[in-house]
């Protein structure tokens, strides 16, 4: 009982039944599972004595025996945190000690040697079990190895540590979607969209997941077994049949108040000139991801209203939703089969079509009297121009967007990038430095600002200043663009300098 309480305190997500049964039953038919269970038992005994070093060693052995069992890794990481008195930073001089580990991970990752990535990430987490990048490496490699539980756990830890990191949220979102965890997956892409509202992939994935979850109302992801789902469906169907029989209505009949869509369609039939009902129904259908039906209702409204502007813009927005969903589907197909050149071309083409259509629509709107003070719209258009390489068009829009306090830092970074890429280096640097005065280090613009400054200083052979900016990113996200290679270039290859030294030398 003491053991159970201690383990649950270290990792509260572990169920008690999992701790007692799973490690025993596996060993009956699998020698490695039996050996892993024995190491796990030794680790729990060491944990009872608060001998954290030996506990980590034991759980590490269990991990090596059965690398696809998430329980062993969870417990090992929990003990690692206890080993460092929950200090949040791991071993002394952890950053220096991890340099060699990160170098090995980078090389293994480049060669798609996923098991090596997993092992090196685990070694690194023994040095600092709060390192988000190491958890991300572990999770991504586990996903490649189709260790779904471990991928979900590790990427969840990465996001827990750096909640606003776009790459970590995106990777976790795809893993959760593959595992049928729709609400959790949607939350990941929502966090990305909150950080960067111009991220078309995040918005499209939210739309896609919402549609998938609506189609999958059976809620299989939460059911304890297929039999439970079957029983739930039978109960629901029996209840529905009895309710309909008592009402004396056919299966297609819906009572008032039972369906928002049916109620609004009824209201339109009774008052076909009331445009508010069309608006409400269109927004409801759009929220339910019934996009073709949404277009149909908007077309009806356009006829009744003689092409009212609000319905024209709503139709444009829904048509963009449809285009984004198609682009997201194409990107997902390419992600699953990256060796297919045709899928790559299709994904790129659809993404460009979305971008061009967005520019066309937003440019028209910012010129209209209805949107002349809409800084958010101007910022969105500026971002599209920037991504399309139309930097001169983006500059005045970013300059106007700076006046909105909600957009100020992101607009300054966008403005700085445009200046730098058009040769106005000093102006660009000033904008970026101004943005960094108030930017949080968890925001995506923080990394972009430091990256751009690093590139400017590197170009001017001011390597010490370049290294400072690249280092600010590398400490948060080693996978950001090519920051690792650039940091090596400007810092003189520190990894090679210490290559002949053992970890104990530190």
DSSP designation for 368: S
Residue 279: per-residue pLDDT? 93
Rounded Cα gap, residues 282 and 264, in angstroms? 10
For helices 200-215 and 166-178, what crossing angle results, to 10°? 20
State percent of the chain over pLDDT 70: 83
In a domain, 149, yes or no: no
Task: Name residue, tokens 């586990």.
Answer: 142
Residues sharing a CB contact under 8 Å with residue 110, sequence separation 6 or more, in sequence order: none
Rounded Cα gap, residues 258 and 249, in angstroms? 14
Q: Which of 329, 388, 400, 322 is nearest to 360 (CA)?
A: 388
DSSP designation for 329: H
Residues sharing a CB contact under 8 Å with residue 233, sequence separation 6 or more, in sequence order: 218
Name the average pLDDT for the chain: 83
pLDDT band at 466 (very low <50, low <70, confident <90, very high): very high
pLDDT, tens only, 41-92: 998 888 888 888 898 999 999 999 899 899 999 999 999 999 998 888 899 8
pLDDT, tens only, 81-135: 999 988 888 998 888 889 889 889 999 988 889 999 999 999 999 999 999 999 9
Q: Any idea what the CATH number is for the domain that residue 31 is in?
A: 1.25.40
Question: If you write DSSP's letter for every residue of 70-127 in order, what string do you get?
Answer: HHHHHHHHHHHHHHTTT-SS-STTHHHHHHHHHHHHHHHHHTT-HHHHHHHHHHHHHH
Q: Which of 424, 427, 375 is nearest to 402 (CA)?
A: 375
pLDDT, tens only, 391-420: 999 999 999 999 999 999 999 999 999 999
Q: Any idea what the CATH number is for the domain that residue 452 is in?
A: 1.25.40.10
Q: State mean pLDDT over 281-301.
A: 91
- Identify the weakest region by mean pLDDT among 37-51, 201-215, 295-309: 201-215
Residue 500: per-residue pLDDT? 56
Is residue 154 within 8 Å of 138, Cβ to Cβ? yes
Residue 214: per-residue pLDDT? 61
The H or E element containing residue 58 is: helix 52-65
146: left (phi over 0), alpha (psi -120 to 50) or beta: left
Inter-CA distances, 217 with 126, 211, 229, 233, 235, Å: 42, 10, 11, 10, 15
Is residue 83 within 8 Å of 56, Cβ to Cβ? yes
Rounded Cα gap, residues 305 and 299, in angstroms? 10
Burial environment of residue 76 by CB neighbours within 10 A (0 to 12, 13 to 18, 19 or more): buried
In a domain, 153, yes or no: no
Rounded Cα gap, residues 147 and 284, in angstroms? 38
pLDDT, tens only, 414-447: 999 999 999 999 999 999 999 999 988 878 899 9
pLDDT, tens only, 299-337: 999 999 988 999 999 999 999 999 988 888 888 888 888
Q: Which of 343, 230, 211, 228 is nearest to 289 (CA)?
A: 211
Residue 336: per-residue pLDDT? 82
In a domain, 335, yes or no: no
Question: Considering 58, 83, 108, which residue would you say is the last residue of a domain?
Answer: 83
Q: State mean pLDDT over 249-272.
A: 76
In a domain, 426, yes or no: yes
Question: Considering 83, 113, 138, which residue would you say is the last residue of a domain?
Answer: 83
Residue 254: per-residue pLDDT? 57
Is residue 411 within 8 Å of 385, Cβ to Cβ? no
Q: State mean pLDDT over 15-30.
A: 44
- 180 has a pLDDT exceeding 90: no
Q: State mean pLDDT over 184-197.
A: 88
Pair of tokens at residue 415: 């403005």
Is residue 319 within 8 Å of 207, Cβ to Cβ? no
In a domain, 348, yes or no: no
Inter-CA distances, 309 with 302, 316, 366, 369, Å: 9, 11, 14, 12
Question: Considering 39, 66, 83, which residue would you say is the last residue of a domain?
Answer: 83
Q: Cα 268 to the chain's mean position, in Å?
A: 40
Q: State mean pLDDT over 471-476.
A: 90
Determine the straight-line distance between the first and last CA of the chain, rounded to whole angstroms.
40
Q: Which of 316, 328, 317 is nearest to 209 (CA)?
A: 328
Residues sharing a CB contact under 8 Å with residue 329, sequence separation 6 or more, in sequence order: 208
pLDDT, tens only, 328-366: 888 888 888 888 888 899 999 999 999 999 999 999 999
Residue 230: per-residue pLDDT? 45
Rounded Cα gap, residues 283 and 289, in angstroms? 10
Rounded Cα gap, residues 230 and 407, in angstroms? 50
Is residue 182 within 8 Å of 222, Cβ to Cβ? no
Residues sharing a CB contact under 8 Å with residue 495, sequence separation 6 or more, in sequence order: 99, 100, 103, 488
In a domain, 418, yes or no: yes
Residue 403: per-residue pLDDT? 92
Residue 502: per-residue pLDDT? 52
Q: Which of 439, 207, 14, 391 is nearest to 40 (CA)?
A: 14
pLDDT band at 454 (very low <50, low <70, confident <90, very high): very high
- Neighbouring C-beta atoms of residue 114, cutoff 10 Å: 19
Domain count, the chain: 2
In a domain, 330, yes or no: no
225: left (phi over 0), alpha (psi -120 to 50) or beta: beta
Domain that holds residue 48: 2-83
In a domain, 414, yes or no: yes
Instruction: Give start and end residues of each alpha helix (H) in 271-308.
Output: 275-287, 291-305
Q: Which of 339, 266, 309 is nearest to 112 (CA)?
A: 339
- Neighbouring C-beta atoms of residue 10, cutoff 10 Å: 20
What are φ and ψ of residue 374, in 5° steps? -85, 90
- Neighbouring C-beta atoms of residue 352, cutoff 10 Å: 12
Q: Cα 65 to the chain's mean position, in Å?
A: 31
């Amino acid at each position: 009982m003491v053991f159970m309480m201690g383990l649950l305190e270290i990792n509260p997500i572990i169920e008690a039944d999992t701790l007692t049964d799973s490690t025993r039953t596996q060993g009956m038919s699998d020698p490695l599972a039996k050996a892993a269970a024995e190491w796990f038992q030794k680790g729990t005994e060491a944990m009872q004595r608060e001998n954290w070093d030996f506990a980590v060693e034991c759980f590490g052995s269990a991990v090596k025996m059965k690398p696809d069992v998430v329980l062993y890794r969870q417990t090992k990481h929990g003990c690692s945190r206890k080993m460092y008195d929950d200090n949040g930073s791991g071993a002394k001089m952890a950053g220096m000690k991890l340099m060699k580990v990160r170098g090995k991970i980078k090389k293994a990752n480049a060669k798609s040697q996923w098991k090596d990535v997993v092992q090196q990430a685990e070694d690194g987490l023994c040095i600092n079990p709060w390192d988000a990048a190491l958890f991300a490496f572990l999770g991504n490699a586990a996903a490649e190895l189709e260790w779904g539980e471990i991928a979900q756990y590790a990427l969840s830890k990465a996001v827990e540590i750096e909640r606003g990191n776009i790459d970590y949220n995106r990777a976790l979102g795809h893993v959760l979607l593959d595992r049928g965890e729709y609400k959790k997956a949607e939350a990941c892409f929502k966090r990305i969209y909150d950080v960067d509202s111009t991220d078309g992939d995040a918005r499209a994935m939210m739309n896609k997941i919402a549609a998938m979850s609506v189609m999958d109302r059976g809620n299989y992801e939460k059911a304890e077994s297929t039999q439970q789902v079957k029983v739930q469906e039978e109960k629901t169907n029996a209840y529905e049949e009895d309710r309909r029989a008592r009402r004396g209505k056919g299966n297609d009949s819906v009572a008032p108040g039972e369906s928002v869509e049916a109620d609004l369609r009824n209201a339109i039939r009774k008052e076909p000139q009331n445009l508010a009902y069309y608006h409400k129904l269109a927004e409801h259908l759009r929220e339910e991801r019934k996009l073709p039906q949404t277009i149909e209702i908007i077309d009806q409204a356009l006829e009744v209203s003689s092409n009212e502007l609000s319905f024209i813009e709503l139709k444009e927005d829904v048509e963009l939703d449809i285009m984004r969903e198609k682009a997201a589907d194409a990107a997902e197909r390419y992600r699953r089969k990256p060796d297919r050149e045709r899928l790559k071309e299709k994904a790129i083409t659809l993404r460009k079509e979305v971008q061009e259509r967005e520019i066309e629509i937003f440019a028209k709107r910012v010129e209209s009297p209805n949107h002349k003070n809409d800084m958010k719209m101007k910022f969105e258009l500026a971002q599209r121009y920037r991504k399309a390489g139309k930097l001169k068009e983006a500059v005045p829009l970013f300059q106007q967007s700076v006046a909105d306090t909600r957009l100020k830092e992101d607009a300054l970074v966008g403005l700085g990038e445009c200046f730098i890429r058009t040769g106005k280096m000093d102006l660009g640097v000033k904008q970026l430095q101004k943005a960094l005065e108030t930017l949080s280090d968890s925001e995506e613009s923080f990394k972009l600002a430091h990256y751009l400054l690093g590139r400017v200083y590197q170009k001017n052979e001011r390597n010490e200043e370049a290294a400072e900016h690249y280092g600010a990113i590398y400490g948060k996200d080693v996978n950001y663009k090519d920051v690792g290679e650039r940091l090596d270039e400007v810092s003189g290859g520190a990894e090679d300098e210490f290559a002949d030294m053992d970890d104990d030398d530190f």
